[in-house]
Amino acid sequence: MSDHRDAPDDARPGLAAHEVHDAVGGLPAFRRLVGSFYAKVERDEVLRPMYPDDLEPGKDHLARFLAQYWGGGDVYSADRGHPRLRLRHAPFSITPEAAGRWAELMTAAVHEQTDWPAAARDHLLAYVRTATPTLINQLPADARTLPRQDDASPTGPDTGSAT
């Protein structure tokens, strides 16, 4: 494993998603990833206020979720049940900005896992890119006034001057 790191052409398509957990070293490896991520959250002015005072339970849940997602068995669901991520994130106001920040910090945390095979990092990076936008549940603060349906002209909404 040690000589795979950081070679640009080392994103081996051969590493299946369910093999990532074992390839990185199991739950302890996801705990290290989540530790790197939360260290950034703690210093982040957008995300920190959304998280509770005690960050430890959330760290444990996220590490277990990721371990399960990447092939580590039901280490999340055994305690927490079905992930239902949209539902669990509903209490938080996740704007595109906040989601973008989350993705940015998690991407940086993944890059810090230099002892992981590059193919495993690539799996995580692709997941962060595609999954994070699905948790947006709030328009940006400056986009609250969308045209109402009955404001649309008969020829369609694109003919007006709205930007």
Residues of this chain that bind ligand HEM (CB under 6 A): 47, 50-52, 57-58, 61-62, 65, 80, 85, 88-89, 92, 94, 98-99, 102, 128, 131-132, 135
| CB-nearer residue toward ligand HEM: 4 or 88 | 88
How near is the Cβ of 23 to ligand HEM at its closest, in Å? 19
| CB-nearer residue toward ligand HEM: 93 or 159 | 93
How near is the Cβ of 85 to ligand HEM at its closest, in Å? 6
How near is the Cβ of 61 to ligand HEM at its closest, in Å? 4
Instruction: Write down how long the chain is.
Output: 163
| Tokens encoding 20 | 């990532």
How near is the Cβ of 2 to ligand HEM at its closest, in Å? 28
| Tokens encoding 27 | 């739950």
Output the residue with the shortest Cβ distance to ligand HEM. Answer: 58
- Rounded to the nearest 5°, which phi and psi values hold at 40? -80, -40
Rounded to whole angstroms, how far apart are CA atoms 127 and 117? 16
| CB-nearer residue toward ligand HEM: 3 or 54 | 54
| CB-nearer residue toward ligand HEM: 12 or 129 | 129
User: Residues near 106 by Cβ (< 8 Å), separated by ≥ 6?
Assistant: 37, 128, 132
| CB-nearer residue toward ligand HEM: 6 or 74 | 74
Residue 116, sorted as left (phi over 0), alpha (psi -120 to 50) or beta, turns out to be beta
CB 30 within 8 A of CB 120: no
Rounded to whole angstroms, how far apart are CA atoms 33 and 29? 6
